[in-house]
Structure 1
Amino acid sequence: MPDLPVHLWYLITSLGGAGMTLPLAFAIALWLAIGYTWRMAAGWLLLLGAAIGVVTVTKLAFLGWGVGVRELDFTGLSGHAMLSTAVYPVALFLVLLRTPPPVRVLGVLLGLVAGMAVGLSRVVLSAHSPSEAITGCLVGALAALLFVRMAWNAEPKRLSALPVVASLVVLAVLTHGVHVPTQRWVTHIALKVSGHDRPYIRAKWKAARNVRPAAAPLSQTRNALAPARTFDL
């Protein structure tokens, strides 16, 4: 495990927040629609949406019904790991589309490494277990690589790298640190759909096989419903 100061781990983990990655994802779709085709933009959004759906379903299943894998300490995919591993490879691929194939491959690999670094930060900061970070990275990488395979031979019509790079950098700077309370939203949906008054809590779920949601301390429930800066999704 890299021995980095805690504030650097928080900086790394912030790169996977929905407040930053989702605006970048929509900006990518916009550039794809402008410089290539609406079909490519729609394909990218569909792949990312499917990945987000997988993350959401696993989280709803645990928070609402306690569905998980105790042996792996798995309570749902890491959204930070998934989003960063999906968005950053595609962003670099878009920027490098006019470059030779080896350069594009290198860009995609760098994006995947960035996403894996975010996944590692989630484990270091105790936001997720290793199994949750790894599966999040795998789902995000799958979405990114499927899109790259689909768009590999795309011919840009009226798109140069400079405005794409400038817009993505400016957007990243403006949205860095923006908090989107995704965990609170998912928790509210899980309680509404399941009909339970309390979400399942990791610690009690790991301690016993027949944990009832109502047995969770109210203080833990409030913490689960309260906005968190870095531990959502």
Structure 2
Amino acid sequence: MTLWPLVIPFGDSSWTLPLSASIAIALLLGGHRARAVRWIACFGAGLAVIVAGKLAFDLGGWCLPALGFYSISGHAMQTMAIYPLLFMLLFSALGPRAARCGFLLGLAASMFMAVTLLAGNYHTLSETLAGMVVGAAVVCTYLRWQLNLRPAHLSLLVALPVAVVLLVDMHSTVNPTKAALWQRAAIWFGATEQYTRQISTDPVSGTRRVSVRVRSLS
């Protein structure tokens, strides 16, 4: 058994959405209202790009098979956007140098997620890189932030998302919501087909193959 399925949930929306909300709340309570709003806006814009890309493929079949590009990796985007800021804020209690080390640790975590996505056949290289690029665009908005939050506010960064995940079945909440929104989007755009792609590795040659399936919505 590999460790990849254990790592993937840390980039899933059922975990990253509460985590992104906890960052905004910690910034807001710490007196950084403008930065909290900026974080929500930038992270929301990143999510919008991911959703737009997935809709383009899922409902329209838009893709670049020659590049192995079918949709932008939301896992790669969210980990790249969230974890550098998360660790930077947590380590900031120890000083500016520690905050920079935290930022680098967050980048390392996002890189490990990228490797996991590739090794586990969750995404192709181009999809993963595209997600990292979108996440990096969000990262660039807070590279020069020098924040000093109180320990009580810093504790929210971990305590709040953990509490949400433990008290609320986020998978049972997020996944049906996604499915309902996708159905609504199909109606809005008049889509008649839904596209899905699957990545597999040949056990003999080790060659990775991508297959696209089309399902009629009518």
**Smaller-chain TM-score bracket:** 0.7 to 0.9
Are positions 1:126 and 2:124 aligned together? no
Distance 2:179 2:115 in 1: 23
Partners of 1:94 and 1:121 lie apart in 2 by 25
Q: For the Cα contact (< 8 Å) 1:63–1:191, is it kept in 2? A: no
User: Secondary structure of 1:65's match?
Assistant: coil
Distance 2:185 2:116 in 1: 26
Distance of 2:127 and 2:181 partners within structure 1? 16
Distance 1:183 1:132, change over 3 A: farther
Q: Which residue of 2 aligns with 1:73?
A: 68
Residue 87 of structure 2: aligned partner: 92
Measured against aligned partners, the alpha-carbon deviations of 1:157-214 in whole angstroms (never above 9, x if no partner) come to xx423x24433333343427832216535632442233123212336xx779xxxxxx
Structure 1: gaps of 5 or more residues: 209-214, 222-233
Runs of at least 4 residues off by over 4 Å: none
Instruction: Tell which deviates more after alignment, 108-117 or 15-24.
Output: 108-117
Residue identity matched to 2:131 = G
Aligned-residue RMSD, C-alpha: 2.5
Deviations 1:115-149 (A, max 9, x none): 22222222222221111112112211221232232
Mapped partners of 1:79, 1:188: distance in 2: 19
How many residues align? The count is 200
SS in 2 for 1:104: helix
Q: C-alpha separation between the residues in 2 aligned to 1:135 and 1:10?
A: 21
Report sequence identity in percent: 31
Per the alignment, residue 50 of structure 2 pairs with: 55
Query: Secondary structure at the residue paired with 2:194?
Result: coil
In the alignment, what sits opposite 2:197?
A: 202
Q: 1:188 to 1:39 in 2, by over 3 A?
A: same
User: Following the alignment from structure 2 to structure 1, what is the Cα–Cα distance between the partners of residues 14 and 114?
Assistant: 17
| 1:231 match | none
Structure 1 residue aligned with 2:206: none
> Matches of 1:124 and 1:189 in 2, distance apart?
33
Cα displacement (A) at 1:217: 4.4
Distance in 1, Cα, partners of 2:72 & 2:57: 11
Q: TM-score, normalised by structure 1?
A: 0.75
CA contact (8 A) 1:74 1:132 kept: yes
Matches within 5 A, 1:1-233: 5-6=1-2, 8-149=3-144, 151-152=145-146, 154=147, 156=148, 159-161=149-151, 163-174=152-163, 175=165, 178-179=170-171, 180-181=174-175, 184-185=179-180, 187-202=182-197, 216-217=214-215
Please state how far the C-alpha of 1:49 moved relative to its aligned partner. Answer: 0.6
Separation in 1, partners of 2:118, 2:98? 31
- What amino acid sits opposite 1:173 in the alignment? V
Could you say if the C-alpha distance between residues 19 and 109 of structure 1 is closer, same or farther in structure 2, counting changes exceeding 3 Å? Answer: same
Q: Gaps (5+ residues) in structure 2?
A: 199-209
Matched residue, 2:205: none
Larger strand fraction of residues: 2
Deviation at 1:85, TM superposition (A): 1.4
